[in-house]
Amino acid sequence: MQGRLISRRSMIAGSAAAVALMSTGVLSMQDWLTSKAHAEEASKPSGEEVFASTCNACSSKCGMFVHVRDGKLWKLVGNKDHPYSKGMLCPRGHGSAQIVYSEDRLTSPMKRNEDGSFSAISWDQAYKEIGDKLKGIVAKSGPESVSIITDPRPIGQYYSQRFINALGSPNYYTHNATCNGSLAAGYTVTFGTNNFSADVSNAKVVVFLGRSYADGIRPSAAKNLADAAEKGTKIVIVDPRYNNSAVFASQWIPINPGTDLALLLAISHVLVKEKLYDKDFVTTNSIGFDEWAPELEQYTPKWAAEITGIDAKVIETLAKDLGTAGHAGVIEQSWRAAFGCQHQNSYETARCVAAVNALLGNYNHKGGAGLYPTAKLGKLDETKFPKIPEITIKKVGLAEYPLQSSGQGIVNIVAAKAKEGKMKAAFFYHSNAIKCYGNPKDWQEGMEAMDLTVCIDVQMSETAQLCDYVLAECSYLERLELPQILGGKQNMMDGRFKALEIMHPDTLPGDEIFVGLAKASGIGEYFNFTIDELVKAQVKSMELDIDELAKKGVLKIGEAWDKAGEPVTFATPSTKFEFAASKIAGMMDKMVMHKPTIAWIPPKVTPKEGEFRLIGGKQSIHSHTMTTSIEALMNITKEYNLERIWIPAAKAKELGISEGDTVEVSNELYSGKVKAHVTERLNPTCVWIPTHYGGSSSYLKQGYQFGIPHMEFVPFDFEPDVGPPMTHEVIVTVKKVSA
Ligand SMILES: Nc1nc2c(c(=O)[nH]1)N[C@H]1C(S)=C(S)[C@@H](COP(=O)(O)OP(=O)(O)OC[C@H]3O[C@@H](n4cnc5c(=O)[nH]c(N)nc54)[C@H](O)[C@@H]3O)O[C@H]1N2
Ligand SMILES: Nc1nc2c(c(=O)[nH]1)N[C@H]1C(S)=C(S)[C@@H](COP(=O)(O)OP(=O)(O)OC[C@H]3O[C@@H](n4cnc5c(=O)[nH]c(N)nc54)[C@H](O)[C@@H]3O)O[C@H]1N2
Ligand code: SF4
Ligand SMILES: [Mo]
C-alpha cells in the first residue's frame, strides 16, 4: 500500500539531527542512517539537555521532548504522557523541525518595495512605520476596518485577540472557517458544544465519514484505530476514496462526495421506522423529535441510494448494525474533508451526524459520543494583565453568516470586504491565508486593495510575499509559548518551553513582536508584562507547578471524567438535544437555506457527463501548505510522485489516460498540468488531489510550482447562513496532454 510505505519510510527519518545534517547537504538520508558516525553519535554518553515542548507542524500540537547536544537540535521524542502523541510523533513532526536550520527561513524584518522585491529593515523602523499607518487607519476609517488572522494556538489567540481588541476592533479571525467551521457550528446548535469525541476504543460499530486517521494523522487516534481493528470492532469507512485507514476497516463505502447528508437521513429513517432508536433518550432528553420524525418518512434508503451511489440494502444494513449496537454504535466526529467546510450542506450534515448519535442515545455512553468538559484558565491579576474595555461593534461577517461557529470568524470576509474597500488593514500571524482559505486570486485582489498588510512568519509564505511588511519570528524551538489546556476524559495542560538559543539575531519570538507593535500603535499599556510572567500566572491559575510542567511537558488537571452512562445536560438553549434547533427557529427571517429541523440540502454543483468533482485531502507526510518547503519531506514526495492526481480507472480508460501520463486539470478559474495516478480506489464521479502542493512563493524553493494548487480551482464563495468556503463545490475536466 502506497500510504503505509510512505509512513514507514518517513518514520525512519526520526532523527531531527539527521534532517538538520541532510539540509547542509553533507549526507543523504540513507547514508546518515547507515553511517558509523550515526551509530557512534547515538551511543555517546548522554550529556545532552532535554526540554519539554510541543510539535508545531499541525493543529494537534503533540507533546514532545527536544534533545539538544552542544546547543544543536539532536532529536525529538514523543511525550508518552501527552494524550495526542502518546509517545509518538508523525513524520511531519520530525521533518518539520528542519525549519530551524533551513536556508529559506526569514532572518530579519522586511519591507516590500514597489517592484515586489523585499529589503531588510530594522525592528525599530518596522514598528514605527506600521504603528503610524495603523493609527492613521483607525483614526480615519474606524477600528472596524482593521483585522487580524491568526493560528488558533493559545499564544495566537491571546496576543492577537488582545492586540486587535485593544485597538477597539472585534475583527479576530482564525483558519477555523476553512477547517471545521461548518462542523463546529452544526454540532453546537444540536448538542451545545463544538465537538464530541467518539469512544473508538470501546465502540462495537464505528462509522467514519471521510475522516482518515492514517492520512490526516494524530498519532494517538491512529493507534486507537489499529487497536480497535485488532479487537474486532466493526469499522466502516465512508469515503469516495479508499483512504489509507481503510486497511483497518471491515467495510469501505465509496460514497458520491457531498452526499453524506442523504446517507445520514436514510439511516435516521431506518432507525425510526424499525424502532431501533433509544426512546428513553428521545423522550426525556431531546426536543423536536415529533416535528422531525414525519419529515424523515421521505428519506428512504432507496431515495438515498440514487443520490449517494450506495446500494439501498447496504444503507439499510448499516443502519440496523448501528441500531443493534445501540449505545456502542457511533458516527465518528470527523474533521475537515467530508463536512468541515466543503459543501453547501456541510452544516446540515454535521447536524445529522449529531442526530444519528442522538437516535442511538449514545451521548456519554461507553463506545458512544463523549462530551467531556474542558477546564478554563483561572483568573489572572488584572493590575498586571489589564482587561481590554468591552467592544460594542460586531465582528465583520457575523451579520451575513448568523449560524457561524462562535468566536473564530468567517475569515474570507476579510478579503471580500477589502475588495469592497471596507477593510483597510490585516495582520497575519502564523497563517497562510492566501494559499489556504479561499481563492488566492480573490485574496490577492483584497490584499492589493488594503492600505496595510503585515505578516509574522518564519518563512516567505505566499501570504508574506504579498504583504507590505514581513516580520521574522524565530522558530518554535527557540521560544517559550503559553500553556495549552487539553480537553478529553482527563483534562491536561501542556507547555512549550524554549529548547534552543535564537540562531538568527534579528528574529524575535511572537510575544515580543506584539509588544513592539502595541507600543508603536499606542496600546502599549495592555502589554506591560513578559511572556514568562504570563506563563507562570496561567499555570498557577490552574493550581499547577511550572517547574513540574517544564519537566514533564504535560500535567493532569483535576480528576478523570467518570460520568459514563449518566444523563447528559446539553449546553443548548433547551438544555436538551435539539432535533429542531431553537436558535434557527428564532432567526427564520435571516435564513437563506436552513430551517429548524434537519432536511436534505443538495450539494451546490454536480458533475455532468465528462466532468468530475474535484476533492482533496491530506497526505501523511505534509501539513497543509507549510511543509512543502521542507527538503526531507519533499524528497519523499518526489521519490514517490505523491503530487499526482487520482483518477478513477474506468473514467481514465474512457479518456485514454494511463498511469503516469501528464494531464491538464481545468475549470473556469484555473488550469494546471500534473501526472495521473489511475486507480480503482476512487468513486467514479470525482478526482482527488493532495492539497499540499502547487506552491507559488518563489522564496520557498522545494515546493515552488511543484504539483497543482487546490484552492486556485475553488470559487470564492460562502456556505449560505454559515459562511465557510465550500472547498469541494468544484467541477473540473481532465484531459491527457503531452508532458
Ligand atoms: N498528514 C496530515 N495530517 C493532518 C493535517 C495535515 O495537514 N496533514 N492537518 C490536521 C488538520 S488541521 C485537520 S483539519 C485534519 C483533517 O483530517 P481529515 O478530515 O481526516 O483529512 P482529509 O485528508 O482532508 O480528509 C479525509 C478523507 O475525506 C475524504 N472525503 C472527501 N470528500 C468527502 C465526502 O464528501 N464525503 C466523505 N465521506 N469523505 C470525503 C477524502 O477522500 C479523504 O480521504 O488533519 C489533521 N492532521
Ligand atoms: N491548499 C490548502 N488549503 C488548506 C488546507 C490544505 O491542506 N491545503 N488545509 C485546510 C485546513 S484543515 C486548515 S486547518 C487550514 C490551515 O491553514 P494555515 O494554518 O494558514 O496553513 P499552513 O499551510 O499550515 O500555514 C501556516 C503558516 O504558518 C507559518 N509558520 C510555521 N511555523 C511558524 C512559526 O513558528 N511562527 C510563525 N509566525 N509562522 C509560522 C508557515 O510558514 C505558514 O505560512 O488550511 C485549510 N486550507
Ligand atoms: S500529528 Fe504530527 S505534525 Fe501534528 S502535531 Fe502531532 S507530530 Fe506534529
Ligand atoms: Mo484543519
674-709 pLDDT tens trace: 999 999 999 999 999 999 999 999 999 999 999 999
220 Rama class: left (phi>0) / alpha (psi -120 to 50) / beta: alpha
The pLDDT value given to residue 739: 60
Asked whether the whole model's pTM tops 0.75, one would answer: yes
Contact 76, 88 (CB under 8 A): no
- For 595-652, what is each residue's pLDDT tens digit? 999 999 999 999 999 999 999 999 999 999 999 999 999 999 999 999 999 999 999 9
* Residue 425 and residue 474 in one domain: yes
292 Rama class: left (phi>0) / alpha (psi -120 to 50) / beta: alpha
- For 10-67, what is each residue's pLDDT tens digit? 333 333 333 333 333 333 333 444 444 445 445 554 579 999 999 999 999 999 999 9
* Residue 381 and residue 520 in one domain: yes
What residue's CA is closest to ligand 3, atom 1?
A: 218
Mutation to probe ligand 3, out of 55, 212, 476, 623 (largest number of atoms < 8 A from CB)? 55
* Residue 556 and residue 583 in one domain: no
Residue 409 lies in a domain: no
> Which of the 8 DSSP states describes residue 672?
E
Q: What is the C-alpha R_g of the chain? A: 25
Pocket of ligand 1 (CB under 6 A): 58-59, 92, 179-180, 209-212, 215-217, 238-241, 243, 255, 257-258, 260, 335-338, 615, 617-620, 622-624, 688, 728
Exposed/middle/buried for 421, CB within 10 Å: 0-12, 13-18, 19+?
Answer: exposed
- For 475-531, what is each residue's pLDDT tens digit? 999 999 999 999 999 999 999 999 999 999 999 999 999 999 999 999 999 999 999
Any atom of ligand 3 within 6 Å of the Cβ of 55: yes
Residue 722 lies in a domain: no
Pairing assessment for the beta strands 369-370 and 197-198 based on DSSP bridges = antiparallel
Residue 606 lies in a domain: no
Mutation to probe ligand 2, out of 346, 405, 457 (largest number of atoms < 8 A from CB)? 457
* Residue 552 and residue 618 in one domain: no
Residue 601 lies in a domain: no
- Per the structure, the count of domains in the chain is 4
Residue 384 lies in a domain: yes
State the residue range of the domain holding 519. Answer: 110-178+376-400+416-434+450-492+502-542
Q: Which residues contact 525 (CB under 8 A, 6 or more apart)?
A: 386
Task: With H, G, I as helix, E, B as strand and everything else as coil, classify residue 97.
Answer: helix
* Residue 538 and residue 548 in one domain: no
The pLDDT value given to residue 2: 27
Residue 723 lies in a domain: no
**Phi, psi (5° rounding) for residue 50?**
-125, 130
Residue 507 lies in a domain: yes
